[in-house]
A and B are shown apart, each in its own frame.
Chain A
Amino acid sequence: MGDAEIIPIGTRGRPGRGTGKQPSSAARGLAPGGKPKPAARKPGPSRAGVAPKTPTRDHSPDPVIETDPPAEPAVDPTGSPAIEGAPVLDAPAASRATLSPATTKNRNPLGGIPSKDWLAAFQHAAREVFGEQWEPQLARFLAFLRRRVTGDYVVDEYGFDQEVTQRFFMAALRPIAEKWFRIEVRGIDNIPSDGGALVVSNHSGTVPVDGLMTMVSIHDHTGRFLRPLGADLVFQMPIVSSLARKGGATLACSEDAERMLRGGELVGVWPEGFKGIGKPYADRYKLQRFGRGGFVSAALRTGVPIVPLAVVGAEEIYPLVGNIPGLARILGVPYIPITPFFPLLGPLGLVPLPSKWLLEFGEPIRTDDYDGAAGDDPMLVFNVTDQVRETIQQTLYSLLMQRESVFR
């Protein structure tokens, strides 16, 4: 009995089911000439599958059929025009009589839009994106794209691609630094404006996000690029390795460190390494062993200042509460982290907690007073290493005292 009210498509506007039989009384009520019966409307919404069709026919069918072709596609080229467009198009009622009925041929979604409109829309969009000076802006952007596509750019000997780092990596990381972690930078004047320097930082946070955030903060405040030194695991992992080289990183070995420092670069090093980022949450802000002091001998040999950096906030982004050593050994990585959210919430657990970050650059430790052979004196190297470590640890404690809470 319910089936009797379904009005199938393809009956050329005639009411009924197209079976040659007499249309049902409900269908006759829907026909254009027929008088609208309120009873016919009711069963429609009650049945989910039928609902979209019934109101369509129901809703004064003449404008739908007759005024379709002229303006319909311009309003909504992709959607189904007959349903949504009808009420809008009631206005040009005068043209109704002159136009022929719509057929599917006329419904080419793109056919109806004149190229002038396309151009206007494009110009409008360009103005929205690039501002009033959109033409030179767009030209500049296209020139950038062309340089990328034709390979017409330079990389330095470590594979650092300054253009893509500045335009892409930094731009992508900046909102995270400013909006998500709300990084506050102190003592930025301690970074020399030119010449080689070695920034030594604590390392934390399960995933080395602190390195990326330090790079962005230093670039935004001083305009210099921090050149991080990465473990060989970084250059072993696919994708990470090519991104690291493009972003300016190189292998943490004495040859590369000294070469970069001699070349006047600002080099960043995280001597705790995996011991630092992979330490449990309970050990937060406790500095681990500072490697073997290789960074100090590199600085001593090249005579560049060492700038200690204390990062507060990175410990809380992924609180590491567990580890799967067996799986880590199989995969050849230092640890498999378990955080309160990570395996539990799946990919959602990868979102770092929005802790408030403080970066404090300390007073530079000068090394140019020592002579060239000082880098080979192990006792001096250990002493300077301890001095840097103590400075960072003390700065961490004082920053933690000043911090109101983890997230504020």
Chain B
Amino acid sequence: MAGGGKVVLVTGVSRDLGRKFARAVALEPGVSRVIGVDVVPPRGDMGDVSFVRADIRNPVIAKVIAKEDVDTVVHMSVIATPGSAGGRNTMKELNVIGTMQLLAACQKAPGLQHLIVKSTTTVYGASNRDPAMFTEDMEPRRAPRAGYAKDVAEIEGYVRGFARRRPDVRVTLLRAANVIGPQVLSPITSYFRLPILPTVLGYDARLQFLHQHDLLGVLRHSVNADVHGTFNIAGDGIMMLSQAARRLQRPTVPMPGFAVGNLGSFLRSARVADFSPEQLSFLTYGRGVDTTRMREVLGFSPRFTTAEAFADFGKSLPTTGGRSARVLAGISQQLPDPGTVRGSSADRQPGRQSGQQSGLAEIGPGGLRRG
């Protein structure tokens, strides 16, 4: 259309990340027009994005794609939690049927050149038989039987089918690790927002995070990049669940797995936290994904490492524990310069931390409890 730039259709703009991405991609130089689609209007400011109220579960979406001459579709409306959608049935309907309709519409659109689907590393599942790091061509060790993981597995199946039938369309499947950030609402962030973290007794999960900034970055990058395929997207490094709880200075309560599951479903029904069932196995065994392809083929490198993304998330949270950390900090201030002694990390100032630890220090003595 105007100026020959790309026309991008973004699904799921009523939610925070979708809206932010739509606004950000509208500012890209190669993009002339952005159309946001969702069943409910977005709450925030949409900027240059034109919003079309349409349900991707019915064929109206095909008309939108044909009429607006869309050449890039970014599918972001895969919902992780039944709570926000209004029940598991609606969630499944939105996820699976919505994707099917969207892909059917895409298949009928001759002008379409690029399809980007935001998927998740949940498709790999989490079990004791997992390899340490999943690469893109690995299958889950146990096929998911229910919930979000199954939805995503089915969605990916339809996307692969679409890629077979329309080889002329570049299909980019982005499997993002747990997205985290100060404003993100997801099962994992609501878990870490609990004042006391229930953990599974005797297990320590390996976690990987992706900062919300980097999710938007990689989506923007793949709109412009001339690549296709499946990519794992995650920040560098691994964090243990116990380590994450210590960095947040949250007390943990280890309990047997079934008790954590029961507590999770109780919290969900009480609407305290949007705890998803597959989160239990994730918090038990954890998961790591290999991001070599993201760097070498997609050419994207995230700005935040796992630890930095988590620190940025933790900055906004009030601390609920960490008394022993404060006591130790008090004692070590009495002692002479541990900074010169430490050797390997001699760059730190004695007594008071600096550098990367400063984020933690800000959480520590603040003690700003929510009412």
Let me know if B324 and A151 touch, CB within 8 A: no
Bound CA span A150–B328, Å: 10
List B residues 292-343 near A (Cβ within 8 Å): 307, 322, 324-325, 328-329, 331-332, 335-338, 341-342
Let me know if B204 and A151 touch, CB within 8 A: no
Let me know if B133 and A157 touch, CB within 8 A: yes
Q: Would you call B16 an interface residue if the criterion is a C-beta within 8 Å of the partner chain's C-beta atoms?
A: no
List B residues 192-212 near A (Cβ within 8 Å): 200-204, 206
Let me know if A146 and B329 touch, CB within 8 A: yes
List B residues 1-39 near A (Cβ within 8 Å): none
Let me know if B328 and A146 touch, CB within 8 A: yes
Partner of A139, one of B133, B243, B337: B337
Q: Would you call B239 an interface residue if the criterion is a C-beta within 8 Å of the partner chain's C-beta atoms?
A: yes
Q: Would you call B240 an interface residue if the criterion is a C-beta within 8 Å of the partner chain's C-beta atoms?
A: yes
Let me know if B328 and A157 touch, CB within 8 A: no
- Known pairs A156-B238, A255-B138; A151 contacts B244 (CB<8 A): yes
Size category, A interface: 35 or more
Let me know if B239 and A155 touch, CB within 8 A: yes
Let me know if B324 and A149 touch, CB within 8 A: yes
Closest to A237 in B: B202
Which A residues are in CB contact (< 8 Å) with B232? none
Q: Would you call A238 an interface residue if the criterion is a C-beta within 8 Å of the partner chain's C-beta atoms?
A: yes
Which B residues are in CB contact (< 8 Å) with A151? 242-247
Partner of B357, one of A142, A150, A161, A259: A150
Let me know if B131 and A149 touch, CB within 8 A: no
Which B residues are in CB contact (< 8 Å) with A159? 132, 204, 206, 238, 240, 286
Bound CA span A246–B128, Å: 15
Which B residues are in CB contact (< 8 Å) with A156? 238
Q: Would you call A242 an interface residue if the criterion is a C-beta within 8 Å of the partner chain's C-beta atoms?
A: yes
| Minimum Cβ distance to chain B for residue A142 (Å) | 5
List A residues 216-258 near B (Cβ within 8 Å): 232, 235-242, 245-246, 250-251, 253, 255-256
Q: Would you call A154 an interface residue if the criterion is a C-beta within 8 Å of the partner chain's C-beta atoms?
A: yes
Bound CA span A239–B199, Å: 12
Which B residues are in CB contact (< 8 Å) with A158? 132
- Known pairs A232-B129, A251-B132; A142 contacts B328 (CB<8 A): yes
* Residue of A139, A237, A240 with highest tally of chain B CB at under 10 A: A139
Q: Would you call A172 an interface residue if the criterion is a C-beta within 8 Å of the partner chain's C-beta atoms?
A: no
Let me know if B332 and A139 touch, CB within 8 A: yes
| Minimum Cβ distance to chain A for residue B209 (Å) | 14
| Minimum Cβ distance to chain A for residue B11 (Å) | 33
Let me know if B203 and A142 touch, CB within 8 A: no
- Known pairs A159-B204, A256-B132; A146 contacts B246 (CB<8 A): no
Bound CA span A235–B332, Å: 37
Let me know if A241 and B202 touch, CB within 8 A: yes
| Minimum Cβ distance to chain A for residue B272 (Å) | 25
List A residues 182-213 near B (Cβ within 8 Å): none
Q: Would you call B124 an interface residue if the criterion is a C-beta within 8 Å of the partner chain's C-beta atoms?
A: no
- Known pairs A139-B337, A139-B341, A150-B325; A241 contacts B128 (CB<8 A): yes
- Known pairs A136-B341, A150-B325, A245-B206; A143 contacts B332 (CB<8 A): yes
* Residue of B130, B322, B357 with highest tally of chain A CB at under 10 A: B130
Bound CA span A240–B286, Å: 15
Let me know if A142 and B336 touch, CB within 8 A: no
Closest to B324 in A: A149
Q: Would you call B249 an interface residue if the criterion is a C-beta within 8 Å of the partner chain's C-beta atoms?
A: yes
Q: Would you call A327 an interface residue if the criterion is a C-beta within 8 Å of the partner chain's C-beta atoms?
A: no
Which A residues are in CB contact (< 8 Å) with B264? none
List A residues 16-32 near B (Cβ within 8 Å): none
Q: Would you call A404 an interface residue if the criterion is a C-beta within 8 Å of the partner chain's C-beta atoms?
A: no
- Known pairs A145-B328, A151-B243, A235-B128; A242 contacts B341 (CB<8 A): no
Bound CA span A136–B206, Å: 34
| Minimum Cβ distance to chain B for residue A239 (Å) | 4
List A residues 338-390 near B (Cβ within 8 Å): none
Which B residues are in CB contact (< 8 Å) with A152? 247, 357, 360
| Minimum Cβ distance to chain A for residue B138 (Å) | 7
Which A residues are in CB contact (< 8 Å) with B367? none
Partner of A140, one of B135, B325, B328, B342: B342
Bound CA span A238–B203, Å: 6
Partner of B325, one of A143, A149, A245, A253: A149
Let me know if B342 and A250 touch, CB within 8 A: no
Which A residues are in CB contact (< 8 Å) with B206? 155, 157, 159, 245
Bound CA span A283–B265, Å: 51
Closest to B310 in A: A151
Bound CA span A153–B132, Å: 19
Which A residues are in CB contact (< 8 Å) with B286? 159
* Residue of B132, B203, B335, B337 with highest tally of chain A CB at under 10 A: B132
Q: Would you call B285 an interface residue if the criterion is a C-beta within 8 Å of the partner chain's C-beta atoms?
A: yes
Q: Would you call B237 an interface residue if the criterion is a C-beta within 8 Å of the partner chain's C-beta atoms?
A: yes
- Known pairs A150-B325, A151-B246, A156-B238; A251 contacts B341 (CB<8 A): no
Which B residues are in CB contact (< 8 Å) with A153? 243
| Minimum Cβ distance to chain A for residue B8 (Å) | 35
Bound CA span A369–B285, Å: 38
Closest to B133 in A: A157
Which B residues are in CB contact (< 8 Å) with A150? 246-247, 249, 322, 325, 357, 360
Partner of A142, one of B201, B237, B338: B338
Let me know if B245 and A143 touch, CB within 8 A: no
Q: Would you call B288 an interface residue if the criterion is a C-beta within 8 Å of the partner chain's C-beta atoms?
A: yes
8 additional contacts (CB under 8 A) given A139-B337, A149-B328 = A138-B335, A143-B342, A150-B249, A157-B206, A159-B238, A235-B285, A238-B202, A256-B131
Q: Which 3 A-B pairs rank lowest in CB-CB distance, beginning with the nearest?
A: A238-B202, A151-B246, A139-B338
Residues of A within 8 A of B (CB): 135-136, 138-140, 142-143, 145-146, 148-159, 161, 232, 235-242, 245-246, 250-251, 253, 255-256, 259
Enumerate 5 A-B pairs (CB-CB under 8 Å) in ascending A order.
Answer: A136-B338, A149-B324, A151-B245, A251-B128, A255-B131
